[in-house]
Structures are given as structure tokens and as C-alpha cells.
Amino acid sequence: MPTVFEPTKGLTGVEFHYCPGCTHGVIHRLVAEVLEEMEELGNSIGVAPVGCAVLAYKYFNCDMHEAAHGRAPAMATGVKRVLPDKMVFSYQGDGDLASIGTAEIVHAAGRGENITVIFVNNAIYGMTGGQMAPTTMVGQRTTTSPLGRDPRQVGYPLRISELLATIDGAAFVERVSVHNPANIRKAKKAIRNAFDCQKQRSGFSLVEVLSNCPTNWGMSPLESLDWVKEAMIPYYPLGNFRRPEMQESEHA
């Protein structure tokens, strides 16, 4: 009988610790499949964040680093400068990248650092138990915004992709979602494009993936996927914000 499906070689097979229904696992698989398909697993070095994906270094089947909270782009920069011919990527949550690590991500993009960043935006601090993130939606209840995020007190959620797309060193910036199979396929394509961009030495690439946190959102997995679609996507529109052709033509 022909094989129709096989687990990717891009993952070690160590059992994920993610909550049931959490899409971190889906995003891991997409990254792993892309690296496998590009035949880059033996050539890649990944940097895991501090956040729910802190143990990503056990899951990706390539050399890995575990960074300090928010510092993954700096660490990836160090690796890439030593090994410019290797694929170097970071995998970061929204607290990690959009709060404590804003300086590192902005300047990695500014330098046009030839790395790929997978940015998992689940509008919350998952690992520490559901506190407000810079990406938490207006009105969203978290353990540190118990009455809902009040923009008069704490401002508005940050749109990281739009922000980074203003930077000339950013070669590729796209926002995708993984709330249904059609979007998962698009997400994989974007991740492939981002790594292709690195392979072609075009500069910094980032894919923002809208993700869920059923546990801390207090929803069933299905409800949480609906919430990504209905609450998050209208505020965080999906689409490409930058690709290599735009580097010279539209920002010359």
C-alpha cells in the first residue's frame, strides 16, 4: 500500500507538552515540514523562546538554542554571524517578542539580519497563566486585566507585522492564521517563503501566526478557533506586508 502520510522528520518525536487543542503544535509541525522539504534540517539552528514554546528545543530535530526571555533575535544574530551559510530561525510568543523583546526584534529587522522569525501571537501570556500581553484584544479578560483590557489605562494592542513592515531591512513579513485547514495551508506557504527568503540572503523574514490559547482564554478548543477568526483577524488582518521585491522597488 502506498504511504499517504508520515510524521515529519523535522520533529524529534518527543511528546509535546502543549494543552489539548493548542495550535502551538500545529505551528511546530509546519516549521518542521518546511525545513524537511527544503532539506535544511541538518543545516539549521533554531532558537527557542521563553514562553509555552520554551521546550521547543526538544521538539525540533535540528541544533537548537534556548534563549533568555525576548532575546532570541539577538541570540540568533550571534549564531548567524558565525554561521552565515546555515538556516537560523527563532520561534517566539507575543510576550517574548512584542513586549520584553521589542528592542531585539526591531533591530534584528533593522539590520536586515538574515534570519527567520516565527512569531506566535495568541493575545496572551500562556506560560505564566494568562496575563495580559501587548497583543491582548481591547476588552479581553486576562488575569491582569480582569475587567477586560481598557485602552484608556493600558493602550491598544500592538500590530507587530505592520510595525516591522515599515523597516527597510525586513525583507519578508506576513501574517497568517491556523484556525482552519485552508489557513494552515497558507501559513505553511508563508513559512516556506520566509525560509526561501533567508536562503536567498534577502534579509530578515518574519511570519506572524495568529494562534489560540484555549486554556487561558477559558474556551473549548473549537470556541478558541472561532475567536481567532471572529475577534482577532478583524484587528490583525491576514496578508503579506513585505516581500523581497518590495525592498528595492517600493522603498528605493
Partner 1 sequence: MEKVLMKGNEAIAQAAIHGGCRYFFGYPITPQNEIPEYMSREMPKAGGVFLQAESEVAAINMVYGAAGAGARVMTSSSSPGIALKQEGISYIVGSEVPCVIVNISRGGPGLGGIQPAQSDYNQSTRGGGNGDYNMIVFAPANIQEAVDLTAEAFEIADFYRNPVMILGDGMIGQMMEPVVFHETPKRELEPKTWATTGTGGKRAPNIINSLHLDPANLEKHNLHLQQKYARMRAEETRYELYQADDAELVFVAYGTASRIVRNAIIQLRETGVKAGMIRPISVWPFPQAAFDQLGSQVRALMSVELSCGQMVDDVRIAAAGRWPVGFYGRSGGMIPAQHEIVDACRSMLEEVA
Given Mg ion, partner 1, ligand SF4, none, residue 94, with its beta carbon under 5 to 8 Å by kind, binds Mg ion
> Residue 92 has what DSSP assignment?
E
- Identified binder of ligand TPP from the candidate list 89, 125, 172, 195, rule CB under 6 A: 125
Q: How far apart are CA 175 and CA 191, in angstroms?
A: 10
Shortest Å, Cβ 235 to partner 1: 28
Task: Classify the phi-psi angles of 185: left when phi > 0, otherwise alpha if psi is within -120 to 50, otherwise beta.
Answer: alpha
Q: Which stretch binds ligand TPP (CB under 6 A): 44-52, 75-83, 180-188, 244-252?
A: 44-52
Amino acid occupying residue 100: I
Show the binding pattern over residues 140-159: x = contacts ligand SF4 (CB under 6 A), - = does not.
--------------------
Q: Which residues pair with 197 in a beta bridge?
A: none
Crossing angle of the two packed helices 72-82 and 102-110, in degrees rounded to 10: 40
- Identified binder of partner 1 from the candidate list 19, 26, 38, 64, rule CB under 8 A: 64
Closest CA to 29 of 98, 97, 91: 91
Q: Does 17 bind ligand TPP (CB under 6 A)?
A: no
Region 117-136 residues binding partner 1, contact defined as CB under 8 A: none
Applying CB under 6 A, which residues contact ligand TPP? 50-53, 69, 93-96, 120, 122, 124-128, 133
